Structure 1
Amino acid sequence: MSGSYRRRKAPGSASLLKWLSTSSSPSSSSPPSVSSVPSSPSSLRPQPPPPPRRPSPPPTRRPAPPPPSSPSTTPRFSYLSHIFLYLVAFRLLNALILRTFFQPDEFFQSLEPAWQAAFGEDRGAWITWEWRHQLRSSIHPLLFAALYSVTDFSARLVHFSPAIRADLLIAVPKVAQAIISATGDLYTWKLAQSVYGRRSPDAWATLALTVLSPWQWFCSTRTLSNCLETTITIVALSLWPWEWSYLPSSQAKSRRTSRTASKPTERDSNIDGAFIFRLRQCLLLAAVACILRPTNVLIWISIGSVAWLQSTWRERKILCREVILCGVSVLTLSSTLDRLFYGFWTFPPFRFLYFNIAQSLAVFYGKNDWHYYISQGYPLLLTTALPFTVVGIYRVLARSVSHGVNSQRSSVRTQLAAVCLIMPVALSLISHKEVRFIYPLLPLLHILTAPTLVDFFLPAVSSPSRAYMPRRLSLIFLLLVNITIALYTTVYHASGAIGVLSYLRNQQQVHALASPGAAQQGITAGFLMPCHSTPWRSHLVHPNIHAWALSCEPPVDMSEKQKAVYVDEADQFYNNPSQFLRGNMRGGLWHVPRKPTYSSSKNLQVNPQAYQQSRPHEWPDYLIFFSPLEPTLRSLLRSSSYGECWRTWNTAWHDDSRRRGDIIVWCLDPTEQAAWRSVTQKRHVETRDRQFDRIMQTFKKEASGKQRISPWGRWMSSLRDGTRSFTWAWPWQSQKRTWLGIQLPAWKKSSWKLPVSWTWPSLPKLPKLPKLPNMSKKKTKSSSRDLWS
């Protein structure tokens, strides 16, 4: 420090004392050495005597200051709690306005087995083949089963009506998933803080990306196992000991010899009880995520291998010990829950790998191209953030290749980027691909995208310069696109699949109020749709609603020849609807009932589960199908009592042509058909009246001269009123011709006539031809030509 001050201008006497007081260390009580004092002529002048010191007052005893952790921990905890409450409120709004259909697994892999576990096997839950063959872990559905049981018990205790009870049972899974999603958002932000810094704008940009992501708004509050897997994965990654994955260069050189590798290092001394507890939490959550979705193991293999290579021997021993303890604990808990759920001992991860890899049953649900996750997966996950993500991953990998990993934060970013590339490559080897399989990577992608987004938009937001106006407009445009996509996919697209079940619940309640006998009888419904096109008992709720739908069971335990010719029930119907209805409906097309079942005094003798599984199917009170099937059914059932009694808009486009258009409900009750016809007619009349009112208002505006002028009309009127006098004229009216502002003389037609002395030579007269039929047309044309000449 003294050398630097020698190169500067020597301070004065007053500044010298100040420099001495600031340069001395607070931990050292000895005065600074003489050599450290800068020598200058000003410092050698005689100084005035110091003023007499006043006696210092006696020291007062002050209370001891609080520990250093209390003023920082309490506001930090309150700060995080406020952020978490805001996120919970945001996701609750997200979950409660969600009214569209995305994937059948949202209901059939979580809520349907949960409904059966909570209310029993005779309540009509749809149990797919995966649960009958023990391919899924029971951890996820048992969570919702507990919520169903508590909600139903509370509703019966308070004596809620069946309608309110049904609404509560539908809303409870959404509320639980909203809290899970908010937890994932919070820990995404916390992991970004540990990577970029607590007050870094990159961390806030990560939170903004998470909140404004259309995919998060569309998918995070759904009851898919992938959503729970994503939250558990990001929480576990925020607890992972990232310092084990980074080894400074000095320690790397010392570990090249076996003698120094066995010695305890400074990093080994930092391992205490709190660190071990944090590591155990991380490994427990990682094990649960792998039990839910076995493909999640790809993330932990990628990160764990780096930690194994960069850690010391003592850290490797601790890691192996905790992995074994946590893995065995989670496997024991999962096996116990599966034993209680299935009724016998089983191991779902092994069954999952056996059926999907050994028997290749996943191929039955579709094949995709090898580049699916690049061409469709990442674009759907990231939408408008995709270009910034590509740049962010490229920067991280290029910096790690050129400059190496020179800090712990750069090591974390490099590992996250590697995971985002390794997992899609590994999953591309499987024929069946879906976007939700790589959904756990979305928080990591947001963390990697944040720096690029900040570099591009932060100057435009913080600076008032007009040079950044294109970036501001781009930011506004991207926000509007995200909001539009989020609202369309969660409110409008494929909303009929949820609405039709609300209609059936309302019809059940209406008939139950109309006659007490109908409440015990219930209504029946049949879904002539591709399999799993709507939710099931989790949205039908009422056990008195008996329903069946077309199934699509895969060819389990069949030979290759049998698999080659196997066609499921839904495909059989769509291949030949007439043949299917004749052979798979009770009575065929000749014995269709005339009246609904709830109008008769005879009750059904089967429970909802038996009614659903019975073959052949019974003709139901309500027949539900998509609008492309309407002409076919209208032709086949034209002599029956079925008629349209409800219709709702579903979607404007769909990748499956069978699911496009409206969802239509036919019923056997003539009263409901008449009521629907009156409602439809009333809507047509109201639409026609509105169109007529608009036309009349347009005529009134034109008559009163108050017609709204378009921008083009205003521009034309300004031309007419400007210095250039512009007037309209019909094409046949004579106009003044100008050239460069000079008026040209107008030529008259008479001036072009030939002189009188000039005559054309007369032609010899030809003999008169006989009149032909088409001569009248020629005469008419010639007469009209003479008229306009």
Structure 2
Amino acid sequence: MMANIRSRLQFGNKVADVKLRKRKSQLYSKEDESPLNNGELRAKVVVFSVVFRLINCFLVQTSFVPDEYWQSVEVSHQMVFNYGYLTWEWKAGIRGFSYPLLFAFIYKILHLLNCDSVYLLIWLPRILQALLAAFADVKFFFLIRTLESRDVAKWTFFCHLCSWFSWYCCTRTLTNSVETSVTCLALFYFPLPGSKTHSSKTYLSLVAFAVIVRPTALIVWFPLLMYHFWQEDNKLRLITHNLIPIGSLAVVISTVIDCIFYEKWTVVQFNFLKFNVFYSVADFYGSHPWHWYITQGFAVIMGPHLPLFVHGCSLAFKRYKILLAAVVWTVAVYSLLPHKEFRFIYPVLPLCMVFCGTSLANLKAWRRAAAFILLVSNVAAALYTGLVHQRGTLDVMSHLQTLCDLSSTSAPPQPDILFLMPCHSTPFYSHVHCPMKMRFLECPPDLGEEDYVDEADRFYDDPLRWLRTSFPYKSSLPTHLVLFDVLEKEISVFLKVNHFVRTAEVFHTHFPEGRVGGSIFIYERH
């Protein structure tokens, strides 16, 4: 009997020892995966992310949309150097100066140090964007490390970094780029299920900054904020100690900045809402069918990641349903607005990468093949769009910048450049940095004027007539014309009669469309 009891106790002890060893093994394994053991790992991730995004920055040499210049560095240049051109939005008070002020600060330092070369004016804002994107990458990686296993975190980070659309956008001086990077940072402190880095004040402050930079950031964050409110035990404290103070301070700071630079009382957020919702000004720049984001927009920005995203949703729906809800909500809200662009839904891309990483980590036997296909296809798209597609509108400004030496002399004729292109096709004084005379075809929206037609449309309706009417005397002619190749034939008579000679041809795109040609021509009057 005693022997039987002793044998049972020994067996129980063995079982307990096995369980203890297994538990220790799990703890050690978990410790290896924990961000707490991350001194060396953090340094490696930081260095890698910074180097990666700086390379990313210098390998993006193409233009995307006019706003990356006209809502940022062009405004900053005007603020610091007191010459340039501000679009109608800045005259109507629907854009805030807080974001251009960041670059204006850099420009002012360069000016005071007498180092304001055009090269630094172009690249330092881009480098600042790259460093912000790198910081967001680091936070994104360690967020996933706190939520998932090392394997899932590794593949999620891989998916995030090899996204062609992130590569294409994140280092540009676009408000959408800042909005996306700040969204990544805020997610690190957001109370996701299982998160150990929650800080309401920090993430709400970051969200407030994103809304100041781009008011539509509130669309992405609305379901996330509602989720936090629903989950919060002390809802009154959340509102009175966090939401109201942080929101009020953000509005006050941004309003003070705008009032200083507008030199009058201006609430940009109200004006933005008034013009875009009540006056539907955005529709002036094009409209798309309601399903455009579903059938085209979302698929394009996801690219080769799309199958992984669909698979990942089936695996991680319950765990990350709030992130999926934010993606669906954002796409749905933007689908209701007539004017649509790929970049508008860019901020949901990091949220989607959580599902893509989960999918890739669970593919097991097919993982390496899927990762290879994902990498190659994204690298091809990233390099083509970053180095080839639509680069002419930047390269042509480098050609024109050489005319600055002529503008600094008193000898006539002084450079007088006319851009016969769709309005805002190129950057402007931020990319030449000298006060030579330049003008382009303007296209402010219809703000209620009867039978309104903007200057660009009037020109394209009858280019020859517009040119003859605008320049009745040879003395009033510009010295240089910049135009897409598709326009050359229509105005060839004007060019010949007035002795304009083509002096440069700049490649722009392999996919010309409408008024945008494959090449850009520079004509000089002799």
SS of structure 2 residue aligned to 1:643: strand
Tell me: CA distance 1:22–1:281, structure 2 relative to 1, closer, same or farther (3 Å): same
Is the CA contact 2:35–2:146 (under 8 Å) kept in the aligned structure 1? no
Q: After the TM superposition, which residues 85-164 of structure 1 pair with which residues of structure 2 at under 5 Å, given as runs?
A: 85-120=47-82, 123=83, 125-154=84-113, 156=114
* 1:234 paired residue number: 184
SS of structure 2 residue aligned to 1:346: coil
The residue identity in structure 2 corresponding to 1:490 is G
Is the CA contact 2:503–2:524 (under 8 Å) kept in the aligned structure 1? yes
Is the CA contact 1:287–1:326 (under 8 Å) kept in the aligned structure 2? yes
* 2:507 paired residue number: 649
Tell me: CA distance 1:665–1:132, structure 2 relative to 1, closer, same or farther (3 Å): same
* 2:173 paired residue number: 223
Tell me: CA distance 1:321–1:662, structure 2 relative to 1, closer, same or farther (3 Å): same
Matched, 1:579 2:465: yes
* 1:622 paired residue number: 480
- How far, CA to CA, are the matches of 1:582 and 1:541 in structure 2? 31
Deviation at 1:476, TM superposition (A): 3.0
* Count of residue correspondences: 512
Of 459, 480, 491 in structure 1, the residue corresponding to residue 365 of structure 2 is 459
Is the CA contact 1:624–1:666 (under 8 Å) kept in the aligned structure 2? yes
* 1:177 paired residue number: 129
TM (norm. structure 1) is: 0.61
- How far, CA to CA, are the matches of 1:540 and 1:516 in structure 2? 16
Tell me: CA distance 1:368–1:334, structure 2 relative to 1, closer, same or farther (3 Å): same
Matched, 1:505 2:401: yes
Is the CA contact 1:625–1:665 (under 8 Å) kept in the aligned structure 2? yes
Deviation at 1:85, TM superposition (A): 2.1
Is the CA contact 1:192–1:203 (under 8 Å) kept in the aligned structure 2? yes
SS of structure 2 residue aligned to 1:453: helix
Matched, 1:482 2:371: no
Of 340, 344, 349 in structure 2, the residue corresponding to residue 442 of structure 1 is 349
Q: CA RMSD in A?
A: 2.9
SS of structure 1 residue aligned to 2:497: coil
Greater Cα radius of gyration, structure 1 or 2: 1
* 1:308 paired residue number: 229
Tell me: CA distance 1:621–1:300, structure 2 relative to 1, closer, same or farther (3 Å): same
Tell me: CA distance 1:642–1:459, structure 2 relative to 1, closer, same or farther (3 Å): same
Q: After the TM superposition, which residues 167-566 of structure 1 pair with which residues of structure 2 at under 5 Å, given as runs?
A: 167-197=119-149, 200-242=150-192, 278-312=199-233, 314-397=234-317, 400=318, 410=319, 413-456=320-363, 458-460=364-366, 472=369, 475-509=371-405, 511=406, 516-518=409-411, 522-543=414-435, 545-558=436-449, 562=450, 565-566=451-452
The residue identity in structure 1 corresponding to 2:50 is V
SS of structure 2 residue aligned to 1:667: strand
Deviation at 1:118, TM superposition (A): 1.4
Is the CA contact 2:485–2:520 (under 8 Å) kept in the aligned structure 1? yes
The residue identity in structure 1 corresponding to 2:174 is L
Deviation at 1:175, TM superposition (A): 0.9
The residue identity in structure 1 corresponding to 2:499 is S
SS of structure 2 residue aligned to 1:531: coil
Runs of 4+ residues over 4 Å off in structure 1: 6-12, 18-25, 72-75
- How far, CA to CA, are the matches of 2:19 and 2:277 in structure 1? 71
- How far, CA to CA, are the matches of 2:103 and 2:474 in structure 1? 40
Instruction: Answer 1 or 2: higher relative contact order, Cα 8 Å, separation at least 6.
Output: 2
Tell me: CA distance 1:394–1:660, structure 2 relative to 1, closer, same or farther (3 Å): farther
* 1:3 paired residue number: none
Please identify which structure carries the higher helix content. 2
- How far, CA to CA, are the matches of 1:8 and 1:220 in structure 2? 68
Is the CA contact 1:152–1:169 (under 8 Å) kept in the aligned structure 2? no
The residue identity in structure 1 corresponding to 2:66 is P
Deviations 1:188-209 (A, max 9, x none): 2223223314xx2111112111
- How far, CA to CA, are the matches of 2:148 and 2:35 in structure 1? 20
TM (norm. structure 2) is: 0.90
SS of structure 2 residue aligned to 1:179: helix
The residue identity in structure 2 corresponding to 1:181 is A
Tell me: CA distance 1:73–1:193, structure 2 relative to 1, closer, same or farther (3 Å): closer
Unaligned runs of at least 5 residues, structure 1: 1-5, 26-68, 247-269, 401-409, 462-470, 594-617, 670-789
- How far, CA to CA, are the matches of 1:653 and 1:668 in structure 2? 29
Deviations 1:736-769 (A, max 9, x none): xxxxxxxxxxxxxxxxxxxxxxxxxxxxxxxxxx
Deviation at 1:78, TM superposition (A): 4.2
* 1:665 paired residue number: 522
* 1:637 paired residue number: 495
Is the CA contact 1:508–1:522 (under 8 Å) kept in the aligned structure 2? no
- How far, CA to CA, are the matches of 1:7 and 1:330 in structure 2? 72
- How far, CA to CA, are the matches of 1:394 and 1:74 in structure 2? 31
The residue identity in structure 2 corresponding to 1:569 is E
SS of structure 2 residue aligned to 1:624: strand
Deviations 1:101-159 (A, max 9, x none): 11000000111111111112xx2x220111111101211100010011112222x1xxx
Give identity over the alignment, percent: 31
